[in-house]
Chains A and B, each alone.
Chain A
Amino acid sequence: MISKKYKIIITLILVNFIFNSCFAVEPSEILKDHKQEKRARNISKNIRCMICQNQNIDDSSALLAKDLRIIIRDKIKDGKKDKEIYKFLTDRYGDFILLKPAFKLNTLALWIFPSIFFIFGIYIIFNHNKKSKKI
């Protein structure tokens, strides 16, 4: 049997996993209005940190990420819509700043090819199975 001490330690580790979501937002940045803060966090999660590049600005402690987080919050406080904030950022940094590529003509292949491959793959498997049965 696991002793009581170990049980407590294991529980603490598991609890830590639940609450330990990693983010870099500093207490001074957080907005008082919970709804607005939630919106800011949501936008930040979709915005690429231009310095770390594979991290979003919500997770990044780079200084530019912090500046962008503050700008996003200032804009929310000014009553700007999410769409306007995304436009502000893409006007300056291009579509690259969006972690999820926009659905545009030049990204069409990126979005459509996976499903074409999937269908094609199923077709091949199906065909192959049919042939095997005949033998």
Chain B
Amino acid sequence: MKKQLLKLPLLFFLIVSVIFFYLLIIERNPSKIPSALLDKNVPEFEAESLLTNYQFTSSKEFGNEIVLVNFFATWCKPCRDEHSYIKRFSDEKKIKIVGINYKDNPEKAIQWLKELGNPYSVIAKDKKGKIAIDWGVYGIPETFVVNSKGVIKYRHVGPVSQKEYKKINLIIKKINNDK
């Protein structure tokens, strides 16, 4: 009995090793953090809008249809990289996209959108980065999927790539089916 008890640490070590090895080989990025806002209502905020003289109010923008929320800035290189995919969401999939222009120069942002095209139905200015903090954003670009009830269903940190574009489309499909 006692001898068997002494084998326990070895057994335990093996189990821990298997768990570690498993976590090592599965595809996962440990620096990515799950959002604390998943399945919660979108934070309420008001802001100036970038292109028009319109007061952005979150309660008006969310809760009617599926909305993508995209945090971007002209000084952020990956934002430029993902822009074609963000455009595809609005051009091909006809999804409403709310842009949040994070700590940016408004003139540069307007110029940037003229150059690359504007997929956003409305853009809120986040001059001091306070909106981003309310959304738990820590590295732009970030993209959120909000369902038609104004609940956050998905969050992606980093640029949207081909793979992520497909994934978000699947999520939107699933939200539509669940209705």
What's the nearest-Cβ distance from chain A to residue B15, in Å? 12
**Which A residues lie within 8 Å of B6 (CB)?**
124, 127
**Which A residues lie within 8 Å of B8 (CB)?**
120
Check if A124 sits within 8 Å of B9, measured CB to CB: yes
**Which B residues lie within 8 Å of A102 (CB)?**
none
A50 to B, closest residue via Cβ: B138
Check if A68 sits within 8 Å of B133, measured CB to CB: yes
Check if A94 sits within 8 Å of B2, measured CB to CB: no
**Which B residues lie within 8 Å of A63 (CB)?**
103, 129
B165 at the interface (CB under 8 A from A): no
**Which A residues lie within 8 Å of B135 (CB)?**
92
Of B29-37, B50-58, B80-88, B117-125, the one touching chain A: B29-37
Check if B139 sits within 8 Å of A51, measured CB to CB: yes
8 A Cβ contacts from B18-60 to A: 31, 33-37
- Kindly count the residue-residue contacts between A and B in the assembled complex, taking CB atoms under 8 Å apart: 44
What's the nearest-Cβ distance from chain A to residue B148, in Å? 23
What's the nearest-Cβ distance from chain B to residue A90, in Å? 7
Q: When A67-B129, A91-B36, A124-B6 are in contact, do A53 and B31 touch as well, CB less than 8 Å? A: yes
Interface size class of B (residues with CB under 8 A): 20 to 34
**Which A residues lie within 8 Å of B37 (CB)?**
92
8 A Cβ contacts from A86-131 to B: 90-96, 120, 124, 127
Q: When A71-B133, A124-B9 are in contact, do A64 and B138 touch as well, CB less than 8 Å? A: yes
Check if B133 sits within 8 Å of A67, measured CB to CB: yes
What's the nearest-Cβ distance from chain B to residue A64, in Å? 6
From B2, B33, B35, B129, A64 is in contact (CB under 8 Å) with B129
Q: When A51-B138, A64-B138 are in contact, do A92 and B2 touch as well, CB less than 8 Å? A: no
**Which B residues lie within 8 Å of A120 (CB)?**
8-9
**Which A residues lie within 8 Å of B139 (CB)?**
50-51
Check if A92 sits within 8 Å of B33, measured CB to CB: no
**Which B residues lie within 8 Å of A51 (CB)?**
138-139
Pick the most buried of B31, B33, B136, B138: most chain A CB atoms within 10 A of its CB: B138
**Which A residues lie within 8 Å of B31 (CB)?**
53
B65 at the interface (CB under 8 A from A): no
Check if B129 sits within 8 Å of A92, measured CB to CB: no
Residue ranges of B at the interface with A (Cβ–Cβ < 8 Å): 2, 6, 8-9, 31, 33-37, 103, 128-130, 133-136, 138-139
Residue ranges of A at the interface with B (Cβ–Cβ < 8 Å): 50-51, 53, 63-64, 67-68, 71, 90-96, 120, 124, 127
